[in-house]
Structures are given as structure tokens and as C-alpha cells.
Amino acid sequence: MSHSDPAAAPVCPRHPDRVAYVRCQRCGRPACPDCQRPAAVGIQCVDCVAQASREAPRATTRFGGTPRRTTRPLVTLVLIGLCVLTYLGQQLNDEVTVALWFGPWLAETEPWRFLTAAFVHSPSGFMHIVFNMYALYLVGGYLEPMLGRARYLALYLVSALGGSVAVLLLASVPEGWFTPTVGASGAVFGLFGAMLVLNRHLGRDTTGILVILGINMVIGFLVSGISWQAHVGGAVTGVVIAGIYALTSSRGRDRKSVTRRRLAWPGLAVLVLLLGALSVWRIHEVTGTVVWMFGS
């Protein structure tokens, strides 16, 4: 009677103490029951399944967004949460508003205010934050899955920057130069502008967006206390960003298509540099004017 040699029996590479007579259909290595995964024919080992998952083409939208199982707009909810928390802080301490608002006279010495102003709202006007956050939730829930989290966040932040830069460029001297602004309106108008361009690029109806954008633009000009400059600047910036996304969009999953979509990031960088250059030019132009007017 013959006995098989245990030392010659195949063993699982991941579990050397286990004999494994079943082999992976992909790599041919033995696989114990814990390392076996069902395949179209036979089984595959966990290592081959993981490698195939890494090598599989990643499904994306034409703008580079990654389709997700959940439709929850995570970045949008985080942005809303930050604005709400900041608003609560404003109610507890007036200095929060002063520390974060944007004013043209502060642009040169405290440039972070170009962005922080998008997270503070009128502390005495509850409806200001309510309208902005409601609009952000609606538009963000539509755009975030389409663009992907990174591109969507870039759209929001650069639109906020564009809104502040427009306030700087269009501020009258000296009254407007020393008037602070707050609110996410510039960023939200950027989202509306982007949605208009992207929907047209996709061949979708844009009538409703045009009506909403037009009505809110008119309100900004007619109602006092609203920074129409931020609305215009945010909307224009959003349109430009969406144009960059549209020009670099691609349906393919091959390397050429991926490279094409990645060109959106250099495009955004050029836009940010342009906004920065315009800001520097305006600051130095007005600084000379203010010095001349006040003789200091």
C-alpha cells in the first residue's frame, strides 16, 4: 500500500500550512477554500481577483466623474455643514464675521479672505444663508456626480474666488473699496453658470436654468445690500470653468481620453493665475488712487 508524500502535496501560497489541490484558472497556483473566488470557469485566487480589479478600466463620466453606488453629494453636504457651523459661530461671536468677510481694502494684506467670505453670511439675515444653502444643495446634487468630487470642489472654490475678484475689480473708490461682502452667492452663481454650459454641451434643455439665473441677476441689481458684483463674477467664472471641462471632456476610457480629461487641471491653474494677476493689478491701481485722494 503506497502513501503520498505530504511534503510533495501542493499548498496554498497564502496559507502554507494548508494543502490545496484546486488551482487558480488565471495564474495556476494552488488555492485553499478561503482563497478561492468563483469565476466564469472554475475559480480564481484572491490575488488574481484583486489584480484584475486594479487593471479593469475605471468607469467615468465624460467629465471625469466617478459613478458611485450612492447618490449622496458628499462634498456639497460638507460645504453646507461648514457654512452652517460658521453661521452658528457668527451668532455666538461677532468677531467671526469680521475675521472672515472680504473687503477690497484687505485683499493685499489678507488674501485668504477671497475664499473665506464664501463661508460666512449676514448674521442678521437668516434667509440669506437659507436661500444660498438650498440652492447649493439642489445644484450641487446635480453637478457633483457629473463632475466628480475633485472637479466639483474646484468649481465651487474657484467660482468663489472669481466672485471676490469681481468685487475687487468693480468696487467704486472710495465707498465700495471699504465695503465688506459675505456669502456663498458668488460660488453658487458659479455652479449655475457651469450647469448652463455643461447642459448645453450635453444637449440638454437649459431654459429653466436661464430663467433662474436671469431672475436672480436682476434681483441682485435691484435690491440694495446684495453684491451683484460677486454674482456676476461667480457666474462668469463658473462659465469659464465649465468651458474648460467641456473642452477636455471625453467618453473614452483609454489612456488618451484620460490624459485629455486631466488637461482640465492645467486649465484651472491658468484661470487662477489670471484671477490673481487681475487682483494684483487692481490693488496697485486703486492703492495709488486712495493715497492720492487722502494724501497719505
216 or 18, greater pLDDT: 18
pLDDT category, 273, cuts 50, 70, 90? very high
H-helix segments, the chain: 46-55, 74-92, 94-100, 113-116, 126-147, 149-170, 185-201, 207-222, 228-247, 255-262, 264-294
Against a cut of 0.85, is the pTM above it? Answer: no
Comma-separated ranges of CATH 1.20.1540.10 domains in the chain: 74-294
User: In CATH, what class is 74-294?
Assistant: mainly alpha
* Residue 128: active-site member: no
Catalytic residue selected from 121, 159, 164, 185: 185
How far is 294 from 296, CA to CA, in rounded Å? Answer: 6
3 state SS of 293 = helix
**Lowest mean pLDDT, pick from 54-58, 106-110, 275-279:** 54-58
CA count, 13 A, side-chain hemisphere, 126: 2
Q: Is the pLDDT of residue 279 over 70?
A: yes
Average model confidence (pLDDT) across the chain: 87
Q: Is 185 a catalytic residue?
A: yes
Write the pLDDT tens digit of every residue in 66-92: 665 556 899 999 999 999 999 999 999
Catalytic residue chosen out of the listed positions 128, 231, 249, 279: 231
Higher pLDDT, 257 or 170: 170
CA dist 125 and 121 (Å) reads 8
Cell numbers representing residue 218 in the block = 436682476
**Which pLDDT does position 41 carry in this prediction?**
76
What single DSSP character describes residue 58? P
d(CA 111, CA 175): 20
Whether residue 48 has pLDDT greater than 90: no
* Contact indicator for 140, 152 with CB cutoff of 8 Å: yes
pLDDT band of residue 4 (cuts 50, 70, 90) is very low
Per-residue model confidence (pLDDT) at position 272: 98
